[in-house]
Amino acid sequence: MVNYLEIINYIKNNYNKDWLTNSQKEAYNKVYECLTYDDVVGIYGNGGVGKTLLGWIFTMDDFMYFKNEKKYKEYSKNVPYAIIDNGSLTDIKDIRRLTMIKSEKVIYITKIKSVPYSIKLTPNNEDIAKVLDNLKSLNININKNYSNNNLWKIFKGVVYNDW
SS3 8: helix
Q: Read off the pLDDT of residues 57-67 as tens digits, 9 standing for 90 and up.
A: 999 999 999 99
- How far is CA 13 from its chain centroid? 15
Confidence band (pLDDT; 50, 70, 90) for 78? Answer: very high
Residue 163 has pLDDT above 50, yes or no: no
The backbone torsions φ and ψ at residue 127, rounded to the nearest 5 degrees and listed phi first, read -65, -40
Q: Which of the pair, 5 or 62, is modelled with greater confidence?
A: 62
Which residues fall within 8 angstroms of residue 70, CB to CB, at 6 or more apart?
none
Closest CA to 30 of 54, 12, 11, 14: 54
Among residues 115, 113, 116, the alpha carbon closest in space to that of 98 is found at 115
| pLDDT-derived band at 152, boundaries 50, 70, 90 | confident
* Cα R_g (the chain), whole angstroms: 16
> 106 pLDDT band (50/70/90 cuts)?
very high
Region of poorest pLDDT, from 45-49, 60-64, 69-73, 137-141: 137-141
What is the value of pTM for the model shown?
Answer: 0.91
